[in-house]
Amino acid sequence: MAIAALFCAVLGVVFWLDSVEALDPVFRYFPPVIWAYFVPMLCTTFGITPAESPVYEWMSTYLLPLSLFLLMITVDLTAILRLGPMALFMLCAGTLGIMVGGPIAFGLFSPLFEDPNAWKGFAALSGSWIGGTANMVAMKQSVGTPDSTLGPLLVVDVVVGYGWMGVLIFLSAYQAHFDDWIRADTTAMDDLNEQMENAEETRRPVTLSDFSIMIGVALAATVASQGIGAWLPEIAFGMAEPIIRTSTWTILLVVTAGLFLSFTPLQKLEDAGVGAKADLAAVLDVPFYLLAGVLWIAIHIAFLMAAAWMARAPLFFVATGSMANVGGAASAPIVAGVYLPAMAPVGLLMGVAGYILGIYAALGCSWLIGLVAMGL
């Protein structure tokens, strides 16, 4: 209970600091999600919290599916589809780049990794880089990534992923030059920009009744998905260990149920545990993980550039499509807002689309990485 209280306090302080205007420059480039796993990671490194606890298992078993359901039930799929073919094409190109880049990067660097479970860490990272942190936890559960393996990959996620975010923000000053060079068709971007500038605010504050209904439905969906998932078979797809386990079925079922219910009136209505199980000291022994992460992102960038050339996509869609994958809903709106302030909501929608893609696409990427690990 003390550990759970500490995590709640950490998240509360982080999001309170995020609301402090004087700290806006800090949180603009280092979103709360970074602090949500690095503060608990530091607590574990310095012995404040244990690396193993039943609390962590409880959070993964119950809070993760519940959180994913709450995220999916509020998704406006029609709004995502209205983003247009160019935005969705660039998002999918970025996803494909991650799916192809992961197995290649792991295959080239795997002889340098001493950890026999390194592929499971890369599988978890594929979840983070196709949608965000929640997907990383989902993939960790799916392939059974050991906590000791995850620590270095969390650092790769932040150093490489958010380092790339910094590059994209820097490149925003040169978007006109890029668009001219590639002869970009800015019609779709201009139309979206106009829609967002003229959009009416339709949200209302969440009431106690809304909150109670959402939590009740989410808990019911989580328990039902766990029950059904326990009856479904584990699937290995030719690998030594199952890639789809009971926990994977639970996540797939709860996400699909949430998406289905997002078409109903219900549509209107946990990061700390990841970092707590990672020890920062483990990173000092694995510099090759960072190099593999850089190669992985480089392949992702190559796919995006090829797609931009084919579609004559503006740099805005390249940057936002990339961050919708690598950073998810936490970072995509930030990058979109730097390029075009009125387009931050577009970044959010693309980030949510990345979450949806990530649940399914990261399973495929994890399977490919596992095949490489087996030497197939």
Give the pLDDT confidence of 26-56 residue by residue, as tens digits.
776 676 766 776 777 777 777 787 766 777 7
C-alpha–C-alpha distance, residues 99 and 180, integer Å: 30
Contact 160, 261 (CB under 8 A): no
Please tell me the chain's helix, strand, coil percentages from 3-state DSSP, rounded to the nearest 5. 80, 0, 20
- Both structure tokens of 136: 């990383």
Asked, for residue 176, whether it belongs to a domain, the answer is yes
C-alpha–C-alpha distance, residues 280 and 287, integer Å: 13
Asked, for residue 163, whether it belongs to a domain, the answer is yes
Asked, for residue 169, whether it belongs to a domain, the answer is yes
Asked, for residue 323, whether it belongs to a domain, the answer is yes
Query: What backbone phi and psi angles, to 5 degrees, belong to 110?
Result: -60, -35
| Overall number of domains in the chain | 1
Which helix (H) or strand (E) covers residue 46, if one does? none
Q: Residue 91: which pLDDT band, with cuts at 50, 70 and 90? A: very high
Asked, for residue 14, whether it belongs to a domain, the answer is no
Q: Residue 272: which pLDDT band, with cuts at 50, 70 and 90? A: very low
- Range name among 32-46, 245-259, 353-367 with the lowest pLDDT average: 32-46
pLDDT tens profile 157-169:
878 887 898 889 8
Range of the domain at 87: 24-373
pLDDT above 70 covers a percentage of the chain that reads 79
Asked, for residue 259, whether it belongs to a domain, the answer is yes
Kindly state the average pLDDT of the residues 97-103.
96
* Residue 137, SS3 per DSSP: helix
Give me the residues paired with residue 235 across strands: 244
- b/e sequence 38-75, b meaning 16+ C-beta within 10 Å: bbbbbbbbeeebeeebebbeebbeebbbbbbbbbbbbb
Length of the chain equals 376
- Is the pLDDT at 172 greater than 50? The verdict is yes
Asked, for residue 358, whether it belongs to a domain, the answer is yes
pLDDT of residue 125: 94
Asked, for residue 244, whether it belongs to a domain, the answer is yes
